[in-house]
Structure 1
Amino acid sequence: MHFKILAATALASLVGLSAPAFADTQLNALFMSQAAYSEADVKAMTADFEKANPGVKVNVEFVPYEALHDKIVAAAGAGDRGYDVILYDVIWPAEFVKKGFLKDVTDKVPAADHDKIFDGAWTTVTYDSKVYGMPWILDTKYLYYNKDILAKAGISAPPKTWAELESQAEQIKAKGLVKYPIVWSWQQAEALICDFTTLTSAYGGSFLKDGKPAFQTGGAVEAVKYMRETLDKGVTNPSSREYLEEDVRKVFSNGEAAFALNWTYMYALANDPKQSKVAGQVGIEPAPGVDGISKASAVNGSMGLGIASNSAHPDEAWKYVTFLSSKDVQDKYAKLSLPIWKASYTEPAVTQGQEYLVKAADVSLGLMFLRPAVPYYTELSNILQKNIHAALLGEDTPQAALDAAAARAARLR
């Protein structure tokens, strides 16, 4: 019996020697698979993080933007089977904080960083004066135009107002240069609300007033009227009502549109001769304004990285979040998404080759119009999507569509 005990002890010792002293910490992170940083960029950033943090491994998962919100919600109840780090949109913090999905990291953010990062980026991760992550994607929509088409139409400068855009589009169409000069992302999705928000900001409209719907009055109504008018005049591609941002990029890059509204990432891709027929002919400007109301317009399309409340490794997750959002990393990968850091905009790594983008950003980033920061935003957006889309299909007038949306939205809390 004494021999058996000794043998068992020796075997246990051998097993202990053969096992690793410490297992790697595994993080799970959720990202989107379109716009802003590419999957290749995120994987490269992650590899650099793992190299700088031995013993920490990150499993990265990508889903389309349209699936991101529901994926986060579903994972929130998954315990340790969920995510440690999540990418979330500027429109979701109110809901996610109310439901307890995100960790409060207010005390972890260095006070000095607040003034170094754009205010529009901070709104992405701030709710009720507390911080729930780090800004990561600083984005808005810009007006893209085809320089060659404008020149052939005898147009010397891109439009500064939405009325000028419509007029130039009519001129281009009359000359037969392209059948539908303007392309948008107006599918019944959040993309439609982003274009609507851009126009609403230009016309001086608003979503809510004293917590009640206000989009059935003023500038928001004018925004939908403008959208419908460009369809009726045949200057907007009617397929825009089925398009998302990638569709817009492909149509514009194929030379089938003179104007497009899209995010930062399109600038690099539309200028890439491997992916675009119009490389070298891509102009970019802030989205236009409205005479007497605005000089330009912009929607806040920023996104942040947060730590899921059910993360088993919050300290390592915070290291990963701060690494990805650091100035050095953002400057290195600034071709599809511009940095959140103010000082980056004088760095050659950021500005070289995209001087016109940075010039447009200098205007647009200070104008970004915020969609409502309310816990019921997803339901509100779905109501607006359905009713605005009906107006764009000609099933309802812009006023009637927004009145119907307001009546439904008034019941949300």
Structure 2
Amino acid sequence: MLKSTRIALLSANLIGAGFLGMSFAAQAHAETTLNALFMAQAAYSEADVRAMTDAFTKANPDIKVNLEFVPYEGLHDKTVLAQGSGGGYDVALFDVIWPAEYATNKVLVDVSGRVTDDMKKGVMPGAWTTVQYDSKYYGMPWILDTKYLFYNKDILQKAGIATPPKTWDELAADAKIIKDKGLLATPIAWSWSQAEAAICDYATLVSAYGGKFLDNGKPSFQTGGGLDALKYMVSSYSSGLTNPNSKEFLEEDVRKVFENGDAAFALNWTYMYNLANDPKESKVAGKVGVVPAPGVAGKSQLSAVNGSMGLGITATSKHQDEAWKYITFMTSQAVQNQYAKLSLPIWATSYDDPAVTKDQEELIGAAKHSLAAMFPRPTTPKYQELSTALQQAIQEALLGQSSPEDALKTAAQNSGL
């Protein structure tokens, strides 16, 4: 009895010592733990981000990274609420529309001193606008993105349409041909849910019509190109050419409708190209065309919205050096070139790399034009208020609850500017 007790105690001590040793070993290999917040939607897939992160931790065994993925719609609030609690994340993905607010409210740290000359020279100029506010850098650009016009080559051929539309009026005319021939009841799909997605589609059209959101810090979207853009949306919707469910669609809904063969035209981000061409994912694989979003005769050759995103260090992070090390790895040219199928690189010379262009030459051809013409959504610390007011205006106009003129006038009054 005594002997067995002693053996049990000895075993417990040895096991305890073993756990202790394992604990010390674990600490030696994971001295720092980073918490990083990403988006579970569009651009890089969750699998891509996990694979990139695994490569980073393998190269940096003293740093562990906890990943959290949320839908785009929750990304902003999750970041801000975590800051308010005094903890949360070390690294956060942020949209191009948020640096003004994040800088003003000290959500992200100024990393201007960390950005090297090689980074400045190598990254495309348009990408830097993603992370800048008041001439300072608040992170590294990571997702370089705009919306393109995707089209179903098979449906256009059956309709006798030789080339994709170059203007928005041509798109409406082509959609009417497709509808009249009985090929599709509603040939166009948009992301017009009462969310930021609708603002991105609206901004694309504002750029085409030569409009602007603000003039000297005050709303100017309620006249000129801003008004013309909403009028086009309402016309497309009320004509029956647009899928009526577009008023509830986000980008993923548009992708699924297009991949099912139920849309001849769709406005969406880069990531849709390779997913829609994947036979496992899509019924239209091999029939997917992509071109820059159209322009307006006499006003623009094409249209494009800046939908880029960056990775930044939060002001509450206690591991800012390690966080920057992780960010520079994730945004490095080697990593971006390796994962260039759902999001295109921020580096200028990547677009001549066969590893990037192979099997997506059509997309790269469109990107070279569109990425150079990205139209910004307004830079203001009150962007969230402005966006919310515009989202409501778009919905009211689409549903016929208000004229485009009145809807935008109300949005300007409710914008907080």
Indicate which of 137, 155, 161 corresponds to 1:149. Answer: 155
Indicate which of 314, 317, 330 corresponds to 2:320. Answer: 314
Aligned to 1:36: 43
CA distance, structure 1, for counterparts of residue 125 and residue 100 of structure 2: 17
1:332 aligns with 2:349: no
Indicate which of 6, 24, 40 corresponds to 1:20. Answer: 24
Aligned to 1:284: 290
CA distance, structure 2, for counterparts of residue 404 and residue 377 of structure 1: 16
Aligned to 2:174: 168
Specify the SS of the correspondent of 1:114: helix
Provide TM-score, normalisation by structure 1.
0.95
CA distance, structure 1, for counterparts of residue 129 and residue 369 of structure 2: 18
Aligned to 1:47: 54
1:89 aligns with 2:95: yes
What is the Cα deviation at residue 369 of structure 1? 0.3
What is the Cα deviation at residue 155 of structure 1? 0.4
Aligned to 2:146: 140
**1:4-403 paired onto structure 2 within 5 Å:** 18=21, 19-20=23-24, 22-23=27-28, 24=30, 25-79=32-86, 81-403=87-409
Give 1:126's aligned amino acid: Q
Specify the SS of the correspondent of 1:76: helix
- Describe the shift of the 1:109–1:237 C-alpha distance in structure 2 as closer, same or farther (beyond 3 A): same
What is the Cα deviation at residue 16 of structure 1? 12
Give 1:28's aligned amino acid: N
What is the Cα deviation at residue 327 of structure 1? 0.0
What is the Cα deviation at residue 112 of structure 1? 2.4
CA distance, structure 2, for counterparts of residue 292 and residue 113 of structure 1: 38
Q: Over aligned residue pairs, what C-alpha RMSD do you find? A: 1.5
Give 2:48's aligned amino acid: D
Specify the SS of the correspondent of 1:290: coil
CA distance, structure 2, for counterparts of residue 234 and residue 249 of structure 1: 20
1:197-239 CA distances to partner (integer Å, 9 max, x unpaired)?
Answer: 0000000000000111100100011111111111121100110
CA distance, structure 2, for counterparts of residue 135 and residue 326 of structure 1: 10
What is the Cα deviation at residue 78 of structure 1? 2.6
CA distance, structure 2, for counterparts of residue 269 and residue 387 of structure 1: 32
Unmatched tracts of structure 2, length 5 or more: 1-13
- Describe the shift of the 1:347–1:400 C-alpha distance in structure 2 as closer, same or farther (beyond 3 A): same
Of 17-26 and 235-244, deviating more is: 17-26
CA distance, structure 2, for counterparts of residue 242 and residue 354 of structure 1: 30
Give 1:20's aligned amino acid: F
1:286-327 CA distances to partner (integer Å, 9 max, x unpaired)?
Answer: 000000000000000000000011111111100000000000
What is the Cα deviation at residue 15 of structure 1? 9.7
CA distance, structure 2, for counterparts of residue 17 and residue 188 of structure 1: 54
Between Structure 1 and Structure 2, how many residues are aligned? Answer: 399
Aligned to 1:4: none
- Describe the shift of the 1:168–1:15 C-alpha distance in structure 2 as closer, same or farther (beyond 3 A): closer
Unmatched tracts of structure 1, length 5 or more: 1-10
Specify the SS of the correspondent of 1:286: strand
Give 2:24's aligned amino acid: P
Specify the SS of the correspondent of 1:178: coil
Provide TM-score, normalisation by structure 2.
0.94
Give 1:250's aligned amino acid: K
